Structure 1
Amino acid sequence: MTNSPPQLKDMLPAVQDLLHRVITGADADSSKTIPLETQQEVLSRIAWNALTEPNEYISRTLIDNYSGSAALTVLQSDNTAHEINQLLDAAGITVTQQLAQKAIERWQARLMERNLLELVRDTLQTAVKTGLRVLTPQLPGWPEKLSALGENQPILLWTKGDIETIKHRFIAVVGARALTPYGETVTNYFTEYLCKQNLGIISGGAYGADGLAHRIALNHKTPTIAVLAGGIDRPYPSGHTELFRKIVDTGNLIVTEAAPGSAPTRWRFLLRNRLIAALSEGVLVTEAGMRSGSINTANHAAELGIPLGAIPGSVMLGSSAGAHQLIRDHKAELIANTTQLDELLHLQETTDSTENTRNIAHLLVLDALPLTKSAAVEQIASRAGISHKECTGILAELELLGKVTQEHGKWPPHWRLVRE
C-alpha cells in the first residue's frame, strides 16, 4: 500500500494533546485523565472516520466485532484483504475477496497524498480549531438510543455545543425544504405545542421545515439538536450558518458522524436521517412530497418502531403526497390535532379511571341526543343505555360545559345539543 500507515502506538504520542482536547473539551494540561486504552480506541475510530464513509460496511463490521484498534491492524498488513477475511471469518461473517479489495481501494484513495498519521492530525487540528468534541461508545455521554440501530450504529459522533443536551427527550420534526404556507402553519403550530410539553426538537438543519422547527425551539428556549450530513466546520446550508451559531451559543447541540472537512453529499444526507430517527422518541412529518428526504427519516423511524406521525394536506397538491403515502402504507398515524399527537407520543395518558369513565358517559349521552331536535331524559337515557338518574346528572354537567341546553316550556324536561 502506498504510504504505509504508522502503527497506532506510534500515532498516539504525536497527536495526544489534540486528542485530549476533542475528548474533554478542555486544555491539554487538564487534570482529567483518560485511560490509555480508551485513548487508543477513540483515536482508532477517528482514524477510520477520516478514512472511510459513514457506516462503511467492512470497517464498521470489523470495529463492531473487535475494536477500532484491532480493525486498524489490517492497514499494517502486507496482505490487507487476507487479514480482513481472516478477522471476519473468525467472527462468523463471510465477505468475498472482491468486496474486501474494493474497500481497500477506497481507503488507499484517501491515503495517496497523506499517510494515516497526517490524515488524523489534520482531522484533529480542524476539530480543535472548530471547537468540536468527539463522542464514542467508550466515552461518557454516548447516547444509548443509538444502540437501536444495531450494526448501523455510528462508530463516533462529532459534536459542537453542550453535550449534556443530548440527554433530553427529543421529538423529530421534519418536512419539505420548500414548505407551502400551509406547511409553515402546521409546522409552526405542532412544533410550538411540542415545545410547550417540554420536549426537545431534533431535525436536520435544512431549509424549510427543519430550520423552522429549530427556530421555534430556540424562541421557546427548548433544547434543540441539528444533525448535519457534512462536517460541522462546513455548515450546510450556508444560509443557516447564523442559525447553527445560535444553536451552539444558546447551549444546544450540533451533531454529525461526518469527519471534519467532509462535504455534505446525497449519500451522507441519507445516512444522517437514521441518526435523527434513532435519537428521537417520535417523528412528526409536517409536509412532504414523494421525493422529500424527510420520507427517508420516516422510514427509518418505522423500521425502528419509533412512533411516527404525518400531517395530511390537500389531496390536490403534491406537497403532501409523501405524508399521505406514509399514512396509506400504515407506517404513520394521521395527525390532525394535538390530541392525536398526544396519543401518538403518549404525552397525556390519563391514569384516573373515574375520569375516563366519566368522559365515556359524556360521549354516550351526546351521541344519544338527536342532531336537530330535543328529546326527553327518558329517551336519552334509553338510547345511551344508562339510568335516568345518571343521565340527569350528566346532562347537568354537559350544560355547564356548554354542550347541551334544556328546552324550556316542555314537560317532562327536554334537552338538545348546542350547535357550534
Structure 2
Amino acid sequence: MEEKKTTLWQEIKICRVDETNYPHDLKKIKDRPEVLYYRGNIDILNEHKSIAVVGSRKISAVGAKLAYNAGSIIGKNGFNLVNGLALGCDAEALKGALAAGGKCAVVLPCGINEIYPKSNQWIAEEVLKQGGCLISEYPEGTRPEKYRFVQRDRLQSGMSQGVLVVEAMEKSGTMHTAEYAKKQNRRLACYYHGLLKYSTGNNVLENLYQAAVIKTNEDLENYLCEIADIEEYTQLSFDFV
C-alpha cells in the first residue's frame, strides 16, 4: 500500500510564467501568479479546452446529480474539468468527469504537499491516476486561509475558457469565481435556478451577469460547442512596465 502511494504522489514541480507549459489563458490575466507548483500533467491545460465547474458546498440532491452529470458530459467531450476539490458541487463534478474517463485540474488553496479537504484526498489521487494535475500558487507548507480560497477562485476561472455554476446561494464563495469569470471575459453559464433548492446565486447570475442558462443536456452540449469554438491566439509579449 505504501509503495502505491509513493508512486502516485509524484514529485512537486515548478512552472514559471515564462515557461511554455504555463497555462496560456492564465498567463493573460493581470494578477497571474509568477510561479505555479504542481503535481501531475499540467500540459493538459494547454492541450485541451477547460471548463471550471463550481458550486456551493451545501447542495440539494438535484444539484448533486446535475454536478455529476455535467462532469460526465464534459469529460466525455474531451474537455478538462477544473475546480477546487471542495465538498458539494466541486466533488460531484470531479467524480462525474473521472467516471467518464475525463481529465481534471484541481486548484488548491494551500501548499500542494497536502490536500484540502482531506476527505477528498481519494478524488485527488484519481485525478493524478487519470493524467490530470493538482495546482497551487503557494509553496509547500502554506496553510489554507480564508483569503486564499478567494485567490484560488481567480485561478480556476483564469485557466479555463468557461465557468459553469451548478448550484449556489448569493452569499456563497462560488460567486467570487463568477465575478472573476466576468472580469476575465470567460464564458459564464449556470443551471436554471428553478431546478434547484439553494439557487439564489443562480438567479443573480441569470439576471445580473447575463450567464447562459442551462436547463437540459442539450443546453450544456451547446455551451460546450461555444467553448470549443473559442479561437486560440498568442500574445507576443507578457512584459509589463
Cross-structure match for 2:27: 147
Distance of 1:205 and 1:315 partners within structure 2: 23
Q: CA deviation at 1:345?
A: 4.0
- 2:212 matched to 1:333? yes
Distance of 1:315 and 1:184 partners within structure 2: 12
Report the identity percentage. 26
2:98 to 215, 218, 221: 218
Q: CA deviation at 1:215?
A: 1.5
Q: CA deviation at 1:348?
A: 9.5
1:266 to 146, 149, 155: 146
2:107 to 227, 238, 251: 227
Cross-structure match for 1:199: 79
Distance of 1:166 and 1:349 partners within structure 2: 14
Contact 1:158 1:257 survives alignment (8 Å): yes
2:181 to 301, 304, 308: 301
Contact 1:231 1:258 survives alignment (8 Å): yes
1:288 to 122, 143, 168: 168
Cross-structure match for 1:183: 63
Q: CA deviation at 1:261?
A: 0.4
- Alpha-carbon deviations, 1:292-322, whole Å to 9, x = none? 21111111011111110011234894x1001
Distance of 1:192 and 1:240 partners within structure 2: 18
Return the TM-score normalized by structure 1: 0.49
The residue type equivalent to 1:243 in the other structure is: I
Q: CA deviation at 1:342?
A: 3.7
Distance of 2:36 and 2:227 partners within structure 1: 33
The structure that is helix-richer by fraction is 1
1 or 2 for the larger relative contact order (CA 8 Å, sep ≥6)? 2
1:322 to 177, 181, 201: 201
Farther off after superposition, 227-236 or 242-251: 242-251
Distance of 1:322 and 1:233 partners within structure 2: 33
Contact 2:157 2:181 survives alignment (8 Å): yes
The residue type equivalent to 1:291 in the other structure is: K
Distance of 1:220 and 1:207 partners within structure 2: 20
In structure 2, relative to structure 1, the CA distance for the partners of 1:301 and 1:223 (3 Å cut) is: same
Farther off after superposition, 129-138 or 290-299: 129-138
The structure that is strand-richer by fraction is 2
Cross-structure match for 2:238: none
Return the TM-score normalized by structure 2: 0.84
The residue type equivalent to 1:190 in the other structure is: A
SS of 1:163 mapped into structure 2: coil
Distance of 1:260 and 1:136 partners within structure 2: 16
Distance of 1:243 and 1:348 partners within structure 2: 26
Contact 1:342 1:348 survives alignment (8 Å): no
Q: CA deviation at 1:347?
A: 4.4
